[in-house]
Every structure is written in C-alpha cells, then in structure tokens.
C-alpha cells in the first residue's frame, strides 16, 4: 500500500513539473482590446461640426 502511495505522489510531482514546463514554454497570448474614448470622440465630432459651419459661412475671394 505504501508503494502505491509513493508511486502516486511521484506521479503527481512529475505531472506538476511537466505542467510548469509547458506553461513556461507556451507562447504568450497577446489579446488586442479596442479602446474607445467616447468623450474624445464627441469632442472631436462637435469641433468638426463647428468647422463645417464656419467653412460654410466663410466666402472665398473671387479670383479672376
């Protein structure tokens, strides 16, 4: 009985070492996550709208 217990304990230690080695050798997982800053997008959209209004009101000189 003690022999079986020793074998099981040795097997657990081997599996643990193999798992540790596999983790060390595994390539890192790089996951890209899109980041959206809605505040900045709204600010830029409002500035763009203002520029469009301003550009509509500005008249270019007539060059001939």
Confidence of residue 62 (pLDDT cuts 50, 70, 90): low
- Assigned token pair, 36: 């959206």
Tens-place pLDDT, residues 3-21 = 999 999 999 999 999 999 9
How many angstroms separate the CA atoms of 47 and 41, rounded?
A: 10
From 38, 58, 36, select the one nearest 46 (Cα to Cα): 38
Percent of the chain at pLDDT exceeding 90: 53
How many angstroms separate the CA atoms of 3 and 1, rounded?
A: 5
Structure pTM? 0.42
How many angstroms separate the CA atoms of 48 and 41, rounded?
A: 10
């Amino acid at each position: 009985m003690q022999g079986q217990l020793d074998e099981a304990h040795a097997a657990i230690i081997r599996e643990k070492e193999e798992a540790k080695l596999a983790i060390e050798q595994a390539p890192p997982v790089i996951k890209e996550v899109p980041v959206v800053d809605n505040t900045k997008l709204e600010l830029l959209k409002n500035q763009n709208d203002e520029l469009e209004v301003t550009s509509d009101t500005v008249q270019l000189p007539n060059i001939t």
